[in-house]
Structure 1
């Protein structure tokens, strides 16, 4: 009976592999699965007849599979495991005495050859476990290239007063109490819970992405539902809270807050009401001014303390426009953009960038990429409006006060995947960084990173400003711009011209009728762009779902990065989460190196003619998944991660890394897998495959980089020089926020907010956690 059941299992596997393998061959794929399927059927037949030749045939399957797998992927354990796991287990089963001893003539020799084959498979597996072909090992320079570099700060080293610590966005702290030698001793200092938790009626993309700011002895944070809270920096005790009462709206695409803005009125008497302010952006398109001392509304600002950001929009349905990121404060102005719901409607709000008087809320200038030359405030009371559906900026800006420039990362126009009928200004400014004059709003330069963007490759990250030491030893004002497509651009921030070379590379052609694709796309000399996916890169938990991913790869349109959207479905890689996202990178301005978290996760998109889109409310999810309607456009789009039938990524791990690079040369010094599958699987498995993440890192003068972000709910510290992990702490929820560090009473703390991320499914929560040395 056991022989017959085993033969039946082998036959079933043979039928599946042979049938699907034949399908793969017709698509132009590998013959391995068809051949192996036939061999399984032969083994099943011989085993059913109790012939020892069954073990010879299975030995050929085992050895042939090993040779084929190594030929395809080398000694990458995670790739070999998917190919050989089922085959090796069955090989061991067939070698068991209760199978082997029931066979007829020749079973001793057949058993011996199968034993040798099994041992060979185990040796290969054990050896592969010691290898990592994807790892890049090296070291960043440790020399102090720049003495006393410009950090963009006019405040104490122990503070963290803007989103990226300063308006330079470096995410670098000059604190050195915590070092690579003692960071492993970090312990919890305090924990605070905001009480703002994800609700059943919340939108899917409810996320906690805030980076606290610290001024004096106080931390200031916001929450997804727009509470502003002040905490004692020593103890985490709440000082005050303000509830913006922004309510819930199912039409919102995001429910999040990345941070608040601090500004002190230089003309105000110390201690007077609203002498120092905290500005809170809300999910219902308001900007509220609060007294930093007590959280009370500063009623002299705008309309009773509240600025309405939807003013001047021709179309403004509730829930479609809001600011998820804090404005920058400079020269007495608040400069702010706004997030527009991706791919909902062509009648989207304008992507206008506006400067308001920080004291009164009066509009100072407006720069609209749809009408870029007219920056004088429009006459809203007289009925003037901004350009509908112009490219917007939902991320954080950077500022160089000495140059008088604010640097704005721009996104795309709705719909992201259809470029039919875009205006000349849209083509010029979308998916770029533009430098605007702080005083007038006029654009001084623009550098575009995707031409005629059809892939939602918004520039997602705050630009990072630092001075790079040139070949002549003189400092060059530089800007570092991380992008979704994996390129990191290093520009002269005075003019936008490249410091590290930018080359134009041929791009895939063949857009849908009425559209076009750019013949070339830019690539930076410093790039973490992925290699073009091949069939051998397909993955699965087993050989069966890996085979289905191979078939799916051939069924989609894919010719590498920038493959145009299509009706049959296109693989978009890097995907919509990007190689880098709003978490940006952290830069050490002394050593002139960067630390980042490149992520690799392919997506798919499929255009759907407007007359075939189902009624509103069906199959609609967050912006990166499900149906995006594009009301008013000729096509909607179905989007989502490129997953196997078992719901795991179709491309092989690693999916997430930590990496370090030299910004002067563009050389990538190291790249290591980051994170485990502990929170991606039903069992808490600690396998370090390198998992996706979203969030950002920070660097300290102590040579330590800190990062949460990964989907396995850990907060980690790394050696900036080597990228090696030095410490980790288990988080009570997803850590998809960027940490920060500060000192109070001479003691250094590191803080991260853990509240989860709706789009990637990490555990929600409401935690603010501080760590310090014993």
Structure 2
């Protein structure tokens, strides 16, 4: 029976491989799977015939597969393991007495090993030895060390923000996510323990959009911690104990039209209104999911009535194409020189007629509109009249801006206009500002400079993250710089006075041939500091077994793919990196003393298929409101999917996520380490350290420790900034897709706080936890 079962299994595998392999050959792919299938078929026939030659043939199958594997991927364990996941165990099974004795040997002993089974035994041993070598070989990490801090490096403090506090999303309006606190160090971080655990009570509700997420980084001012929740509750906690002090509910109505439901953070400002006495000296500002901007007294949680209209500003004012849920700000405003500057998110790919991407500045006390910068009308920045509207469907800023008050500039990351994957009818101004960073004068909103990171963006490569502002030592002296991570993997380091590159940027040829009515840019800008993935090859394709690996090969060769910036197509195009990005809204952390950047590159390809539209009403790619990616009124809808195998695993080999440390003066990456496990993504919760993507940014401290919680497994981790080595981790009750922060409590303890509430579209566990860690007292 064992021989029959083995023979039938070989025939089934051989048939699947032969059919798939022949199809793959027809697509121009490798012959390997067809040849492997022939070997399995031949082995199966011989086993069913009770022929000892079956072991010789299978030995050749194993040796051939091993040779091809080593040729393609060397001693990369996570590439080698799935290629041998069925081959090697079956070879071992064929050597058992239950099989061998049925092939004519009466005694299971020396005569067997000296005869027909010896080649198969050697093949099994070679596979085993190769596996042992691969397990002990690291083929991906760069294990280096960052240089020490410069003696001439600038100070790492901001006089407006006390060292022990955290006043803005990135700690200061410079957005470095760097704290000068140094109580926690690489030598003691493993002693961190939970101090308090607060539950917000804001959990997902029926009817919430899929992307209902906790992405908030709390603020810490004086002795209070401030945060917001996906449904826009604002909560104040005692920073020492985690006890709730107050909460505010803006009563945002539910809506089926929203693409996102999140709040990344609040804005804080200390001043006193002329007619409010002692009230509202310290203010919090929160944008809501129904497009309001609300001012609150930080001490009491009460609305500041003199701001705007009874404490709030209507962000729908002067907007074209008003449809509830299609416009709102998920990110906090930036405050500079007493102006509150804010953009907003526009739902993706519903139609070419969407709200405007206008950037507006309001008086931080009165709420009066001071200027508006409309990408569709960039020269006119004075407030438009009450009966006028901004230009529709211009590039919008859904992420976080940063500001340099000394230079009088605010730096705004922009996305691309609707529709994302087809740009045949974009305006001249949209082409100019799409996927760019713009520097606007804080006082007037006038454009000072722009830097475009993707020309004629057809891939949804919005500039997703807050630019970090840092002064960099160069051969010409100290230069005020801007560090901008992008979805495509480039980190641009620019002079923030002019937008000129500090690290070189070169234009490289890009694939051509867009869809009907569209065009592609001939070149794209590439930074000297880049984590862009190399062009995918057959050897980079993956699967849990060689069967689903073959299916990924078939899918790969069925798609259009010519490397980064392959245009979307009706055939279906492979987009690598996908619009999840190498980097996303979490951004990077920058150490101004060590002149380094800590980043979290991630690699997940997507497929982009344009679907010709026959009319402006039919839904082609969506089933529920707000009908994302339908592009009503455009020539094509777009179907966006992850590039995964039939069983839902990535078609590209791990690692899928890293942490990296680079010198901003040279652009050199000194260390790169795969990061995170598949414990919370695999059917069996095994903590294999394969390197998983993260969504949520890192945070650095002067103590030489970095923190990150955004990985797809549920941990807060600490790293040695010098080497990137993981030093400590703590299990979280839910997905930690937020950026941690740190502060000094009134008892003098350095606290590290993380929000763990999960991320809807990533499928991480939902929750409502806010957890603080510190060293033992």
Q: TM-score range by the shorter chain?
A: over 0.9
Q: Distance in 2 between matches of 1:153 and 1:592?
A: 20
Equivalent position SS for 2:265: coil
Contact 1:736 1:755 in 2 (8 A): yes
Pick from 757, 760, 764: which aligns with 1:758?
760
Equivalent position SS for 1:348: coil
- Cα-to-partner distance string for 1:716-736 (whole Å, 9 max, x where unaligned): 000001000000000000000
Residue 236 of structure 1 and its aligned partner are, at CA, apart by: 0.4
Change (3 A) 1:496 1:249: same
Pick from 519, 522, 525: which aligns with 2:522?
519
Are 1:293 and 2:302 counterparts? Answer: no
- Cα-to-partner distance string for 1:62-99 (whole Å, 9 max, x where unaligned): 11111100101111111111111100111111111110
Residue 476 of structure 1 and its aligned partner are, at CA, apart by: 0.4
Are 1:394 and 2:395 counterparts? Answer: no
What are the equivalent positions in structure 2 for 1:227-306 lying under 5 Å apart?
227-265=233-271, 272-306=278-312
CA-based RMSD of the aligned residues comes to 1.6
Residue 630 of structure 1 and its aligned partner are, at CA, apart by: 1.0
Are 1:154 and 2:160 counterparts? Answer: yes
Contact 1:222 1:259 in 2 (8 A): yes
Equivalent position SS for 1:399: strand
1:578 equivalent in structure 2: 581
2:440 equivalent in structure 1: 436
Are 1:728 and 2:729 counterparts? Answer: yes
Change (3 A) 1:506 1:621: farther
Contact 1:225 1:247 in 2 (8 A): no
Residue 654 of structure 1 and its aligned partner are, at CA, apart by: 0.6
2:84 equivalent in structure 1: 84
Q: Distance in 2 between matches of 1:614 and 1:404?
A: 47
Q: TM-score, normalised by structure 1?
A: 0.98
2:216 equivalent in structure 1: 210
1:376 equivalent in structure 2: 382
Residue 655 of structure 1 and its aligned partner are, at CA, apart by: 0.5
Are 1:321 and 2:322 counterparts? Answer: no
Q: Distance in 2 between matches of 1:170 and 1:146?
A: 19
2:708 equivalent in structure 1: 707
2:419 equivalent in structure 1: 415
Residue 568 of structure 1 and its aligned partner are, at CA, apart by: 0.8
Contact 1:150 1:467 in 2 (8 A): no
Contact 2:660 2:671 in 1 (8 A): yes
Are 1:493 and 2:496 counterparts? Answer: yes
- Cα-to-partner distance string for 1:81-124 (whole Å, 9 max, x where unaligned): 11111001111111111101221378542222211111110110
Change (3 A) 1:174 1:271: farther
1:366 equivalent in structure 2: 372
Q: Distance in 1 between matches of 2:548 and 2:6?
A: 22
Are 1:539 and 2:542 counterparts? Answer: yes
Contact 2:321 2:354 in 1 (8 A): yes
Residue 250 of structure 1 and its aligned partner are, at CA, apart by: 1.1
What are the equivalent positions in structure 2 for 1:99-118 lying under 5 Å apart?
99-104=99-104, 107-108=112-113, 109-118=115-124
Residue 612 of structure 1 and its aligned partner are, at CA, apart by: 7.3
Contact 2:256 2:625 in 1 (8 A): no
2:769 equivalent in structure 1: 767
Q: Distance in 2 between matches of 1:547 and 1:244?
A: 53
Contact 1:613 1:629 in 2 (8 A): no
Equivalent position SS for 1:21: helix
Change (3 A) 1:131 1:613: farther
- Cα-to-partner distance string for 1:198-223 (whole Å, 9 max, x where unaligned): 12321100010000000000010000
Q: Distance in 1 between matches of 2:624 and 2:662?
A: 36
- Cα-to-partner distance string for 1:263-313 (whole Å, 9 max, x where unaligned): 111566998111111111111101111111100011111111111101101
Equivalent position SS for 1:102: helix
Change (3 A) 1:267 1:5: closer
1:682 equivalent in structure 2: 683
Change (3 A) 1:758 1:613: farther
Q: Distance in 2 between matches of 1:298 and 1:702?
A: 39
Range 644-653 or range 612-621, more displaced: 612-621
2:462 equivalent in structure 1: 458
- Cα-to-partner distance string for 1:608-627 (whole Å, 9 max, x where unaligned): 1112788449734799xx96
Contact 1:707 1:716 in 2 (8 A): yes
Range 495-504 or range 94-103, more displaced: 94-103
- Cα-to-partner distance string for 1:137-191 (whole Å, 9 max, x where unaligned): 1111122354442544412100000000000000000000000100000000100
Q: Distance in 2 between matches of 1:612 and 1:554?
A: 31
Residue 640 of structure 1 and its aligned partner are, at CA, apart by: 1.5
1:648 equivalent in structure 2: 649
Q: Distance in 2 between matches of 1:270 and 1:303?
A: 15
Q: Distance in 2 between matches of 1:622 and 1:454?
A: 24
Q: Distance in 2 between matches of 1:268 and 1:168?
A: 28
Structure 2 stretches lacking a partner, 5+ long: 106-110
Equivalent position SS for 2:261: coil
Q: TM-score, normalised by structure 2?
A: 0.97
- Cα-to-partner distance string for 1:578-632 (whole Å, 9 max, x where unaligned): 0000001000000100101000000011001112788449734799xx9611112
Change (3 A) 1:591 1:639: same
Residue 135 of structure 1 and its aligned partner are, at CA, apart by: 1.2
Contact 2:503 2:527 in 1 (8 A): yes
Range 558-567 or range 96-105, more displaced: 96-105
Pick from 462, 471, 489: which aligns with 2:475?
471
2:600 equivalent in structure 1: 597
Contact 1:490 1:498 in 2 (8 A): yes
Q: Distance in 2 between matches of 1:293 and 1:301?
A: 16
What are the equivalent positions in structure 2 for 1:126-141 lying under 5 Å apart?
126-141=132-147
Are 1:403 and 2:407 counterparts? Answer: yes
Q: Distance in 2 between matches of 1:151 and 1:65?
A: 58
Q: Distance in 2 between matches of 1:379 and 1:242?
A: 33
- Cα-to-partner distance string for 1:690-747 (whole Å, 9 max, x where unaligned): 0112000000000000001100111100000100000000000000000000001211
Residue 21 of structure 1 and its aligned partner are, at CA, apart by: 0.6
Change (3 A) 1:157 1:273: same
Contact 1:153 1:166 in 2 (8 A): no
2:356 equivalent in structure 1: 350
Change (3 A) 1:342 1:627: closer
2:565 equivalent in structure 1: 562
Equivalent position SS for 2:285: strand
Contact 1:151 1:589 in 2 (8 A): no
Are 1:637 and 2:641 counterparts? Answer: no
Contact 2:209 2:259 in 1 (8 A): yes
Equivalent position SS for 2:469: strand
Change (3 A) 1:711 1:478: same
2:64 equivalent in structure 1: 64
Contact 1:656 1:675 in 2 (8 A): yes
Q: Distance in 2 between matches of 1:384 and 1:269?
A: 31
- Cα-to-partner distance string for 1:344-386 (whole Å, 9 max, x where unaligned): 1211110000000111111000000010000000012xx1000
Contact 2:235 2:248 in 1 (8 A): yes
> What is the number of equivalent residue pairs in this alignment?
769
- Cα-to-partner distance string for 1:537-575 (whole Å, 9 max, x where unaligned): 111111111000000000000000000010010111110
Change (3 A) 1:151 1:504: farther
